Chain A
């Protein structure tokens, strides 16, 4: 059971993290971020450290189904929440549809930002399917329904993930394909899309 109130004088705690369906119990200094706990303590090195300041998105993971940056998330504060990293997306040998789309459409070059891009894209598809507008959505009224997932929409929604190689053109195509939108990145006239039915149950 999770302790509701830890000893206030202590600067470390023994916590249990739920990651990709597994429970991990470990002592952590409170200063440990979720990112460092994943990489340095639990050998889950798929999640990458880029800026470590919340500015690049390389460390994007899903926490309770929502995309977040693990570098600004304290590990101790993540106790009790469902954490999904890139290692938890595939179903055995069957890649997650977003992973498959990145592979099929070359949505990367060096690959360092890719785990974050993929986790972020899963969040984007889920948020869009739930009807969330973005900063480039013309009519944000709830009556208007989800906007077509155009290349502009994908670029705006994915803007928290930087790619120093500049693989953005293929990333936009991969996100569109995984969402079932297949946007042509050269235009912004892609048609509306059904919500992605193929995303796994890792996102609430």
Chain B
């Protein structure tokens, strides 16, 4: 690991001032991803600015009836919070599906959004990787890619975003709030992650040196009827090979509102707009759900070893939507 300076930020303005002046500095939250990447040499910051003592650890109601989650709220506290469990159960379930109890107690909401892909070529500094070393190539396209992306890929990168939390937040139309030396800003999560294109190393639309200060959830009555389902290679404590965050509002047998997002299929949490368009206004039933899943997956471009994900995601979407519909009928 490269040597680095360390300081604790006591206020947001001071924290962003340091990163504004030093592009080689990084914010340190829970460290569950950053410290690991520093050990392997993927990240080589000159300085860490520890933000864990900033007053960003509250979950508060907003004037519009939504919630605002501070950036340093731990994943554990987020999933345990009564308002999250009651009003946005898909978010609590998604967080609980990720990592282990220990890691959830350390990892922060802001850090979760900024975590890096677990693609084996990205995390191995002896291998080429366009995300880590722009222009060096993507061995995953011809190599080990059974867990890689099927949607929104490019020839330059097929890595997936590993977050569970982010999938639920994407379905919930969350907004990311940040601070820079020039003042505050916000980005809808839908615009937060950049398309891969030929610049996979540019992962987010955050301005350089920006500090995520929180995430707000707009009010969403549909979210009370929501769930997260994750498929992985073992029953617990593993990254997804596919996941679905869904919310359905069904009245008189018709889908009035639908939210659907997919995990572990793209470089970002994937909002399933095409599926939502099929669902909204259609009768809640097996035919609609299958048509919605197919509509989303027509854009899938699987590689030789991850074609199973197309079938998996179709079945997963239909299963979760069916469960929500059955729940609504009770």
A residues engaging B (CB < 8 A)? 4-11, 13, 29-31, 33, 52-54, 57, 60, 66-69, 72-74, 76-77, 120, 123-124, 127, 130-135, 137, 140-143, 155-161
Contact = CB atoms under 8 A, between A and B. Distances in A.
B76 A54 contact: no
B8 A73 contact: no
Interface stretch (B91-99, B295-303, B315-323): B91-99
Contact of A72 (B1, B36, B85, B93): B36
B79 interface: yes
22 contacts: A4-B8, A4-B10, A5-B7, A6-B5, A7-B5, A8-B5, A31-B3, A33-B35, A66-B76, A67-B105, A68-B102, A73-B31, A77-B31, A123-B102, A127-B76, A132-B80, A135-B96, A140-B85, A140-B89, A142-B86, A158-B101, A159-B100
Contact of B103 (A31, A54, A77, A156): A54
Contacts, number: 129
A168 B143 CA distance: 36
B47 interface: yes
Contact of B3 (A29, A74, A123): A29
B32 interface: yes
Nearest to B38: A31
B50 interface: yes
B7 A140 contact: no
- Which one of B89, B92, B105 has the greatest number of beta carbons of chain A within 10 Å? B105
Nearest to A136: B236
Contact of B101 (A4, A5, A11, A160): A160
Given A30-B48, A133-B96, A72 B3 contact: no
- Which one of A29, A131, A140 has the greatest number of beta carbons of chain B within 10 Å? A140
B28 interface: yes
A120 B50 CA distance: 25
A143 B50 CA distance: 36
B36 A160 contact: no
Contact of B1 (A31, A130, A157, A161): A31
Given A53-B36, A60-B102, A77-B28, 13 more contacts: A11-B4, A29-B3, A30-B4, A33-B35, A72-B30, A76-B6, A77-B52, A120-B102, A127-B80, A133-B85, A141-B85, A156-B235, A157-B101
A141 B83 CA distance: 9
A68 B106 contact: yes
A187 B246 CA distance: 31
Contact of B102 (A10, A29, A57): A57
Given A77-B50, A156-B236, A31 B4 contact: yes
Contacts of A5: 7-8, 10
A90 B315 CA distance: 51
Nearest to A5: B7
B92 A133 contact: yes
B85 A142 contact: yes
Interface in B64-94: 74, 76, 79-80, 82, 85-86, 89, 92-93
Nearest to B14: A5
Contacts of A13: 6
Contacts of B101: 67, 120, 123-124, 127, 157-160
B308 interface: no
B251 interface: no
B61 to A, nearest CB: 15
- Which one of B6, B47, B85 has the greatest number of beta carbons of chain A within 10 Å? B6
A30 B50 contact: no
Nearest to B1: A31
A72 B47 contact: no
